[in-house]
C-alpha cells in the first residue's frame, strides 16, 4: 500500500471533522438529560421516550416512510423502464438529448420544481373541478417525478456495462424478449436498480422543499414538521429522531455497499450468505411495514379534522402532559355515540407551519381542506379582509363564554359576528442577566422605571441581542421612540431605521431561536423577546430576569394574540366548531396553557388552582435531588406541592412566573394595549418599505461587507482567465499540429 503523507492524514482528519462533527454533536445531545443545547447534563434516553409518545411526530414519521417507500418503488419501476428504453435507443442524438432532459430536474433548483408542480396540480385540479387540489396523491406524484432521474442515472450505466450479447444469448437459448428481460437483463442490472431504489428512498425521505409546495392539508411529513417547529424551539426529541434517521440511512448505505459487485467479489461465501440474509430481512421488514401501514390506513373509515397550527403549539402528550388531540377524538366519539347511538372514528390530522406567512401562502396556493387554523392577529385581519375565514356559530361553542370579556373584541374581530376564538396571547418584554447588569440599571428595573433604552446603552456594547425579523426589530425602535407602529409614515420608518443603525454597533447578533442558548449560557446580557419564552430561559438559568419596558410609567410594548379560526374552504365545519369548543374547555385549555407557557385568555384556565400552582402563583415545596440541587417536590400526579401557612392557606409567591405572565399592570390595560400596540396588517406599501429598510440595515451589518464580493469576483476572473489561457494554448498547439499535417 502507498504510504500516506502527514498532510494527507491531516486532510482526511479535517474533512471528517467537518463532515461528521455536527452529526456527532446531534447524537450526543439526543442523549442529554436536559433540554439545554449548551451543556451536556447527563446521559439519558428520555428524549427517545418522548419521541415515541409524541403521536403527531410518529404520524409524520409514518407518512414520511409511506411516501418514501411508495414513491421510490414507483420511481424505480418507471425509471428502470425508462432506462431500458433509452438504452435500446438507436438514434444517438435523440438519446443524448433525452439524457440531458433527464438531468434537468436534478440540476433545477428544488424550489422551481416545487413551485411548478404546485402550480400544475392547482391548474389541473381547477380544470377537473376538484375542491382540494393538493393531497397525498400530489406529493406522491411530485416525489416520483424528482426521484425518476436518479433512478435512471443509476440504472442506465448498468445497462451499458451489461454484455450486449446477454439478451441475445438468452433469446438464442429460447427466451422470448420478455422472458429474457426478467431472467437475464434484470438480474444483471439489479445492483443499479437497488441502488437507485435506495437513493430514491433517501431523497424522498428528507425532501422538504418539494413536499412543502405540493403537500395538502392533513398530511405532514417529518421534514415539514421539524421545520415548522422552528417557530418555538426544536425540541431534543427531534435530535433523537434525527439520530435515528441518520443511523437508518447509514445502515441503508452500508447495505447498498454490501450489495455492490466489488465488495461481493471480496467476500467469503459465509459473508455473502449473511449479507443476503441481512439485506433480505431489511427489505422484508420495510415491505411488511408498508403492507401493515397500507392495510391500517385503508381499513379505518374516519371522520377527519384537519388542524393546521404552529409547531410546538399544543399539548401533545409529551412529558406526562395531556394529548389534547387524542382527548378530543375520544371526547367526540363518545359524544357522537351518546347522541346518535352510532360509532364513528374521529381522526385529528394535525399539521404545522412555521410562520403566518407560510400559512397565508398555503391557503392562497389552493391547499384547501384545513378545518382549523390558528393564525396571529394581523394575519387574521388579512385573511378576513380576503374572505378566507368563515364566521363562527357561537351557539355551537358554549365554551366561548370562558373567554374573558376583554378578549372578545380584539381589533381584528370586533364586529357583531365573530370569526375567531382567542387561543393565547403574549407580550414582548426584556430579558436580562442580573449578574452582568449594572446595579443602577437593576435598581431602575426593580422600581419599574426601565424602558427600551437599556437596549441602546453603550455600557452593554456587544452584549445585546436583537430580533432577527423586521416587524419585531423595528417594533423595538418604534416603541422606544414613541412612534405608532400601525400608522407609521415614511419618515417614521426612516427614524426607526436610523435608531436601529445607531444600535447596531452594540448588537452582538440578530437572533431568533439562538437566543435560548445565548441567554441561558450567559453570552449576552440583554434582549427583547416573547414573555413565555423568556420564562423558559429563566427556568434554565436563575441569573436571568425579565421586565416589561415602560415609557412614562406605562408599559409600551407589543402584544400579540393567536386565535382559532375556521377557513372558508373548510370541509368539516361542524366538527371544527366542536374542536374549538373542546379547546376552550377547562381540561384542554389548562393542558395547553401549561404546555405552551403563553398567557391564556381563558377564565377557566386562570381560575384553575392546579394551573396557578404549576405556573408559580404560590410558594411550592422543594427537596434536594441526588446531586444535592434544589428541585420542586412533586405529588403523585406530578404536580407541584404548595406550601401552606399556619391557617392552611397557600402563600402567594410575588416573584412567580404567574405574575410575570399575568402582570397586574398589564391585566388592567390589555384591551387598550391590544388596540394601541398590537401589530396590524400593514398596507402593501408599508410592508415593502419595512422590508426594504430592514434589508438595508441587515446588508450593512454584514461585517465582511464588500470583501466577500470582491473575493468571489477575483476567483471568477481567475477562473475565466485560466479558461482563456487553456483555450489559447490548445489553439496554438493545434495550429502547429495542423501545419505539420499539411
Partner 1 sequence: MNEKKIIELKNVAKSYDGEVILDHINLDVHEKEFMTLLGPSGCGKTTTLRIIAGFVTPDTGDVVFEGVKINDIPAYKRHVNTVFQKYALFPHLNVYENIAFALRLNKISEEEIYNRVEEMLAMVNLKGFEKRDVNLLSGGQQQRVAIARALINKPKVLLLDEPLGALDLKLRKDMQNELKNIQRKTGITFIYVTHDQEEALSMSDTVVVMADGKIQQIGTPTDIYNEPENAFVADFIGESNIIDGVMLDDYKAKFSGHIFECLDKGFEKNERVDVVVRPEDVDVVPPEKGMLTGVVTSVTFKGVHYEIIVNINNFKWMIQSTDYVEPNQKIGIYIEPDAIHIMKRSEYSGQFGDYSSFSDELDRLSDISEEEE
Q: Site for partner 1 (CB under 8 A): which residue of 68, 184, 193, 307?
A: 184
Distances (CA, A) of 641 to 149, 625, 677: 61, 16, 38
Smallest distance from partner 1 to CB 151, Å: 20
Q: Site for partner 1 (CB under 8 A): which residue of 4, 8, 112, 168?
A: 168
- What is the rounded end-to-end Cα distance, in angstroms, of the chain? 49
Residues 6+ apart with CB under 8 A from 511: 465, 466, 467, 468, 518, 527
For residue 239 the three cell numbers come to: 435530535
Place of cell 433525452: 98
Q: Site for partner 1 (CB under 8 A): which residue of 24, 28, 100, 163?
A: 163
* Among 468, 463, 388, residue whose Cα is nearest residue 420: 388
Q: Site for partner 1 (CB under 8 A): which residue of 165, 268, 552, 740?
A: 165
Smallest distance from partner 1 to CB 102, Å: 26
Q: Does 654 bind partner 1 (CB under 8 A)?
A: no
Q: Does 304 bind partner 1 (CB under 8 A)?
A: no
Q: Which residues of 455-479 are buried (b: 16+ CB within 10 A; e: fewer)?
A: bbbeebeebbbbbbebbbbbbbbbb
Distances (CA, A) of 140 to 62, 486, 738: 14, 43, 57
Instruction: Identify which of residues 177 and 553 has a Cβ nearer to partner 1 in the complex.
Output: 177
Q: Does 171 bind partner 1 (CB under 8 A)?
A: yes
Could you tell me which stretch among 102-110, 131-139, 170-178, 653-661 binds partner 1 (CB under 8 A)? 170-178
The 3-state secondary structure of 481-499, one letter per residue? HCCCCCCCCHHHHHHHHHH
Give the HSE-up count for residue 297: Cα atoms under 13 Å, Cβ half-sphere: 12
For residue 36 the three cell numbers come to: 439545554
Q: Site for partner 1 (CB under 8 A): which residue of 96, 108, 176, 263?
A: 176
Could you tell me which stretch among 137-145, 176-184, 197-205, 288-296 binds partner 1 (CB under 8 A)? 176-184
Q: Site for partner 1 (CB under 8 A): which residue of 58, 175, 278, 643?
A: 175
Instruction: Identify which of residues 268 and 395 has a Cβ nearer to partner 1 in the complex.
Output: 268
Smallest distance from partner 1 to CB 171, Å: 5
Could you tell me which stretch among 171-179, 225-233, 327-335, 640-648 binds partner 1 (CB under 8 A)? 171-179
* Among 364, 2, 57, 381, residue whose Cα is nearest residue 223: 57
Q: Does 188 bind partner 1 (CB under 8 A)?
A: yes
Instruction: Identify which of residues 184 and 388 has a Cβ nearer to partner 1 in the complex.
Output: 184
Cα–Cα distance between 87 and 186 in angstroms, integer?
A: 13
379, 360 contact by CB (below 8 A): yes
Q: Site for partner 1 (CB under 8 A): which residue of 109, 129, 174, 341?
A: 174
367, 398 contact by CB (below 8 A): no
Interactions with partner 1, residue window 359-398 (CB under 8 A): none
Cα–Cα distance between 578 and 571 in angstroms, integer?
A: 14
Instruction: Identify which of residues 265 and 654 has a Cβ nearer to partner 1 in the complex.
Output: 265
Q: Does 170 bind partner 1 (CB under 8 A)?
A: yes
Place of cell 439526543: 30
Instruction: Identify which of residues 170 and 666 has a Cβ nearer to partner 1 in the complex.
Output: 170
Instruction: Identify which of residues 170 and 580 has a Cβ nearer to partner 1 in the complex.
Output: 170
Could you tell me which stretch among 187-195, 527-535, 537-545, 646-654 binds partner 1 (CB under 8 A)? 187-195
Give the HSE-up count for residue 77: Cα atoms under 13 Å, Cβ half-sphere: 5
Instruction: Identify which of residues 272 and 698 has a Cβ nearer to partner 1 in the complex.
Output: 272
Longest CA span, the chain: 116
Smallest distance from partner 1 to CB 249, Å: 28
171, 224 contact by CB (below 8 A): no
Cα–Cα distance between 112 and 131 in angstroms, integer?
A: 24
Cα–Cα distance between 194 and 154 in angstroms, integer?
A: 9
Q: Site for partner 1 (CB under 8 A): which residue of 85, 187, 632, 723?
A: 187
How many positions of this chain bind partner 1 (CB under 8 A)? Answer: 19
Residues 6+ apart with CB under 8 A from 119: none
Smallest distance from partner 1 to CB 134, Å: 43
Could you tell me which stretch among 1-9, 147-155, 162-170, 433-441 binds partner 1 (CB under 8 A)? 162-170
For residue 315 the three cell numbers come to: 399539548
| Helix (H/G/I), strand (E/B), else coil: 367 | coil
| Helix (H/G/I), strand (E/B), else coil: 623 | strand
Q: Does 169 bind partner 1 (CB under 8 A)?
A: yes
Residues 6+ apart with CB under 8 A from 280: none
Smallest distance from partner 1 to CB 182, Å: 12
Q: Does 166 bind partner 1 (CB under 8 A)?
A: yes
Residues 6+ apart with CB under 8 A from 521: 38, 39
Instruction: Identify which of residues 168 and 357 has a Cβ nearer to partner 1 in the complex.
Output: 168
Instruction: Identify which of residues 163 and 574 has a Cβ nearer to partner 1 in the complex.
Output: 163
Smallest distance from partner 1 to CB 738, Å: 25
DSSP single-letter state for residue 649 = P
Cα–Cα distance between 122 and 134 in angstroms, integer?
A: 7
Distances (CA, A) of 439 to 192, 450, 506, 694: 70, 13, 20, 34
Instruction: Identify which of residues 189 and 511 has a Cβ nearer to partner 1 in the complex.
Output: 189
Could you tell me which stretch among 2-10, 175-183, 437-445, 597-605 binds partner 1 (CB under 8 A)? 175-183
Q: Site for partner 1 (CB under 8 A): which residue of 10, 25, 112, 173?
A: 173
Binding mask 110-139 for partner 1 (x = CB under 8 A): ------------------------------
Instruction: Identify which of residues 161 and 414 has a Cβ nearer to partner 1 in the complex.
Output: 161
Binding mask 259-298 for partner 1 (x = CB under 8 A): ------x---------------------------------
DSSP single-letter state for residue 433 = E
Binding mask 210-249 for partner 1 (x = CB under 8 A): ----------------------------------------
For residue 559 the three cell numbers come to: 402584544
For residue 37 the three cell numbers come to: 443545547
Query: CB burial class (10 A; 0-12, 13-18, 19+) of residue 52?
Result: middle
Instruction: Identify which of residues 174 and 320 has a Cβ nearer to partner 1 in the complex.
Output: 174
Instruction: Identify which of residues 15 and 173 has a Cβ nearer to partner 1 in the complex.
Output: 173
Instruction: Identify which of residues 167 and 426 has a Cβ nearer to partner 1 in the complex.
Output: 167
Instruction: Identify which of residues 175 and 303 has a Cβ nearer to partner 1 in the complex.
Output: 175
Task: Give me the residues that bind partner 1 (CB under 8 A), please.
Answer: 163, 165-166, 168-176, 179, 183-184, 187-188, 190, 265
Amino acid at each position: 500500500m502507498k504510504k500516506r503523507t502527514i498532510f494527507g492524514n491531516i486532510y482526511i482528519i479535517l474533512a471528517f471533522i467537518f463532515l461528521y462533527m455536527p452529526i456527532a454533536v446531534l447524537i450526543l445531545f439526543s442523549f442529554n438529560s436536559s433540554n439545554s443545547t449548551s451543556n451536556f447534563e447527563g446521559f439519558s434516553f428520555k428524549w427517545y421516550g418522548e419521541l415515541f409518545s409524541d403521536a403527531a411526530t410518529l404520524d409524520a414519521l409514518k407518512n414520511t416512510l409511506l411516501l418514501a417507500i411508495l414513491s421510490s418503488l414507483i420511481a424505480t419501476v418507471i425509471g428502470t423502464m425508462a432506462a431500458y428504453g433509452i438504452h435500446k435507443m438507436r438514434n444517438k442524438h435523440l438519446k443524448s438529448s433525452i439524457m440531458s432532459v433527464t438531468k434537468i430536474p436534478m440540476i433545477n433548483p428544488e424550489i422551481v420544481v416545487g413551485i411548478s408542480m404546485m402550480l400544475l396540480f392547482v391548474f389541473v385540479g381547477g380544470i377537473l373541478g376538484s375542491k382540494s387540489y393538493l393531497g397525498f396523491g400530489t406529493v406522491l406524484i411530485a416525489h416520483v417525478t424528482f426521484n425518476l432521474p436518479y433512478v435512471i442515472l443509476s440504472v442506465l450505466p448498468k445497462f451499458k456495462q451489461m454484455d450486449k450479447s446477454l439478451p441475445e444469448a438468452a433469446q438464442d437459448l429460447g427466451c422470448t424478449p420478455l422472458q429474457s428481460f426478467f431472467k437475464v437483463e434484470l438480474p444483471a442490472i439489479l445492483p443499479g436498480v437497488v441502488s437507485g431504489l435506495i437513493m430514491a428512498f433517501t431523497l424522498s425521505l428528507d425532501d422538504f422543499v418539494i413536499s412543502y409546495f405540493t403537500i395538502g392539508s392533513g398530511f405532514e411529513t417529518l421534514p415539514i414538521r421539524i421545520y415548522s417547529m422552528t417557530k418555538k424551539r426544536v425540541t431534543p426529541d427531534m435530535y433523537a429522531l434525527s439520530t435515528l434517521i441518520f443511523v437508518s440511512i447509514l445502515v441503508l448505505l452500508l447495505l447498498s455497499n454490501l450489495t455492490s459487485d466489488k465488495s461481493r467479489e471480496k467476500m467469503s461465501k459465509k459473508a455473502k450468505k449473511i449479507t443476503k440474509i441481512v439485506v433480505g430481512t431489511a427489505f422484508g421488514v420495510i415491505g411488511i411495514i408498508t403492507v401493515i401501514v397500507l392495510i391500517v390506513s385503508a381499513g379505518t373509515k374516519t371522520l377527519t379534522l384537519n388542524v393546521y397550527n404552529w409547531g410546538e403549539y399544543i399539548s401533545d402528550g409529551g412529558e406526562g402532559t395531556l394529548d389534547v388531540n387524542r382527548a378530543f377524538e375520544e371526547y367526540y366519539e363518545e359524544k357522537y355515540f351518546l347522541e346518535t347511538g352510532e360509532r364513528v372514528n374521529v381522526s385529528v390530522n394535525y399539521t404545522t407551519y412555521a410562520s403566518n406567512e407560510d400559512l397565508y401562502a398555503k391557503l392562497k396556493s389552493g391547499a384547501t381542506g384545513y378545518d382549523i387554523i390558528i393564525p396571529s392577529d394581523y394575519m387574521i385581519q388579512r385573511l378576513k379582509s380576503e374572505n378566507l375565514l368563515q364566521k363562527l356559530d357561537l351557539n355551537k361553542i358554549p365554551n366561548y363564554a370562558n373567554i374573558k370579556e376583554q378578549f372578545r373584541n380584539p381589533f381584528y374581530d370586533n364586529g357583531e359576528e365573530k370569526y375567531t376564538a382567542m387561543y393565547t396571547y403574549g407580550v414582548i418584554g426584556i430579558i436580562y442577566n442580573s449578574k452582568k447588569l449594572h446595579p443602577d440599571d437593576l435598581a431602575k428595573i426593580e422600581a419599574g422605571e426601565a424602558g427600551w433604552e437599556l437596549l441602546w446603552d453603550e455600557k452593554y456594547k456587544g452584549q445585546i441581542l436583537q430580533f432577527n425579523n423586521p416587524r419585531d426589530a423595528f417594533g423595538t425602535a418604534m416603541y422606544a421612540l414613541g412612534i405608532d407602529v400601525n400608522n407609521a409614515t415614511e419618515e417614521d420608518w426612516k427614524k426607526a431605521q436610523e435608531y436601529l443603525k445607531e444600535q447596531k454597533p452594540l448588537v452582538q447578533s440578530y437572533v431568533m431561536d439562538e437566543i435560548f442558548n445565548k441567554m441561558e449560557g450567559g453570552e449576552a446580557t440583554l434582549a427583547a423577546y416573547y414573555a413565555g419564552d423568556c420564562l423558559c430561559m429563566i427556568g434554565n438559568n436563575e441569573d436571568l430576569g425579565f421586565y416589561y419596558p415602560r415609557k412614562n410609567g406605562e408599559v409600551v410594548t407589543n402584544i400579540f394574540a393567536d386565535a382559532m379560526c375556521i377557513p372558508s374552504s373548510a370541509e368539516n365545519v361542524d366538527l371544527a366548531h366542536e374542536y374549538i369548543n373542546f379547546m376552550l374547555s377547562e381540561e384542554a385549555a389548562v393542558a395547553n396553557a401549561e404546555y405552551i407557557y403563553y398567557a391564556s385568555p381563558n377564565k377557566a384556565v386562570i381560575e384553575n388552582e392546579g394551573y396557578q400552582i404549576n405556573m408559580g402563583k404560590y410558594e411550592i415545596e422543594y427537596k434536594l435531588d441526588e446531586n444535592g440541587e434544589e428541585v420542586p417536590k412533586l405529588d403523585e400526579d406530578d404536580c407541584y406541592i404548595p406550601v401552606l401557612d399556619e391557617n392552611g392557606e397557600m402563600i402567594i409567591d410575588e416573584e412567580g412566573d404567574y405574575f410575570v405572565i399575568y402582570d397586574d399592570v398589564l391585566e388592567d390595560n390589555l384591551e387598550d394595549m391590544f388596540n394601541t400596540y398590537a401589530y396590524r396588517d400593514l398596507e402593501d406599501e408599508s410592508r415593502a418599505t419595512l422590508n426594504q429598510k430592514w434589508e438595508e440595515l441587515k446588508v450593512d451589518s454584514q461585517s465582511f461587507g464588500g470583501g466577500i464580493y470582491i473575493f468571489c469576483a477575483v476567483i471568477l476572473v481567475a477562473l475565466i482567465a485560466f479558461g482563456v489561457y487553456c483555450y489559447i494554448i490548445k489553439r496554438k498547439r493545434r495550429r502547429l499540429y495542423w501545419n505539420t499535417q499539411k
